[in-house]
Chain A
Amino acid sequence: MKNPFVMECGNYKTSYSKDMELFRVRRVKIRMLIIVILLFLFPLFASNYVIGLATLCAIAVIGAIGLNILTGFTGQISVGVGAFLAVGGYTSAIFTTTYGLSFWISLPLAGLITAIIGGMFGIPSLRLKGLYLAIATLAAQVIILWIISSWSVTGGGAGMVLERPAIGGFSFYDQNSYYYLCLIVAVFTTIYALNLFRTRTGRAFLAVRDRDVAAQIMGINLFSYKVMSFAISSFIVGIAGALLAHYTMIVTVELYSIQVSIQYLAMILIGGLGSVFGAILGAVFITLLPVGLGYMVEYLTIFIPDAHSLLSSFREVVFGLVIILFLIFEPGGLVHIWNNIKNYFRLWPFSTKE
């Protein structure tokens, strides 16, 4: 019988452009299409709660891909994603609520303004590396959140209230339509990121990550590419922030604390640094982790009556534990596990352990 997982036999590439295709095998293309179609059909069968979770996952995917472009592909550590999400969210909030602009204009504007601010904080990256850069981005987080909380335009500590977007007479108010909106943006982000690394810019990013001094010697303008990486990444993160703000319909400073930045870093690390697919896996994993834990605690209350009071601490413990265990035992992340499974089946039945 033909092994359904085997797919490489008989594929010959006759030109460079064929070798650089996004989907090198036709079956992969079809499989991707099926997955996307399934993602579009799934709200028809799911409850509102599940669709809500899926929406959050889609938004997290957008943000994680954005961060992965910066940290995973260009090697610039950023601990300030939370603040850039906040910039996106607040920009959209200010434009739609205070100035009455349409969501469809404020969304790209949110991306643009986040890109400008992200690029500004990317300027020090030319001279700062590693830990020093991490602290500089941490400083960005603290400073941006402080400005937001003490500026009158942003409503200060009280935050702002937003509306769900609408087009013509149609409103994206219900769960399904908003899920579709986020999913479409997520799909576009994925395609954009996958394509980015087939272009000159993307390859320059990789060179900067691998050895920036060598890249500079080869004629790559470090300054412009590093700032560009910050800007592109922040643009995507800003879009995610705006989508999130219109989903929760309220923005306050607490929603964008340092914890959020850490969660996004955890997403790309657990998913797999420098992999678009990894960012998707990690985003879904970290978004669903607390939900899974909630169910587990629900089950534990049968044995320990006051398990609920421990839930928040329990979450922290498990979150920390997951990060440490992944770093020690699977530094390649979920995407590495996935590839291992795939390779196992590719060789099956000839693959054996030991």
Chain B
Amino acid sequence: MKPKVVQYLDKGEFPLSEGEALALYRAMRRARFFDEKALTLQRQGRLGVYAPFMGQEAAQVGVALALGEKDFVVPSYRESAMLLTRGLPIHTLLLYWRAHPAGWGFPEGVRAVNPYIPIATQIPQAVGLALAGRYRGEDWVVATSIGDGGTSEGDFHEGLNFAAVFDAPVVFLVQNNQYAISVPRAKQMRVDYIARRAEGYGMPGVVVDGNDALAVYLEAKKAVERARKGEGPTLLEALTYRLAPHTTSDDPSRYRTREEEEAWRAKDPLLRLRKALEARGLWDEERERGLLAELEAEFARELALADSAREPRPEEIVEHVYAAMGPDQRRAWEALRQGKHVEEVW
């Protein structure tokens, strides 16, 4: 039997408060704005390799906004929208994608950890972080995110099993964007819906229209509530699509058709929400222009901050390897600081 795909927008349903709906739209618009700017900066050579999330705003923002202040996100590398929504400053994120050390040091108070590059390794770690809250008497919930391809990794299975066994307060978001770089879902696994796997671990699995911000947000809120009440983890599968390449180094025309891309473009989560808001008189062209002007100004300020970041020092290579430098790091640090090649000193 096909699982029910939770969806509101195309049915004309709108079970949200005005404030929540506008917050969702603003955060999604801001994320999309960042994504477009980041792609431009990358083409100008002002950003390193970048992983765009365009098309997945509803999934990422929907879950991020469903969290409380104390909750954590444990993101993968495509989750820039999630990080921005959790309060990571734009200039920090820009520096991260510039591979500048300052972009790796997230400010205190941002309840998010650095994005994960290896696939699925964040899953068991998110479970540990969630359990730490319980030990410390804090009822924080952890939301962690993974793509469809990532669910084939062993760590995904180990992590979900651990979460279920320990009733860990975790929300597992699978952003099923249809491709693991170039490999489509059907060649990745023999199940049609990843959320089906939830039953095998002993937790609820929910499929949502990942391009419907309302659906993601409301289902994520339920999952967060369940977790906070001690009822354990939830697997939330958001059906969505990555409109852009895997990274700026990728060429999707080798594995996707233009027709398919166009079909998904018609389901753009940002436009869908905007239309729904407009239909209810909550949004219009003027407000859109106002928001864009605001975002433009914010981005300009943040980009200037990123541009003014000091040059990384060579000795930063061996900093923060240990809480206190060992003799080998110390020796290299001195050498790098003096501008000497290590061979001259060692």
Say whether A associates with B.
Answer: no
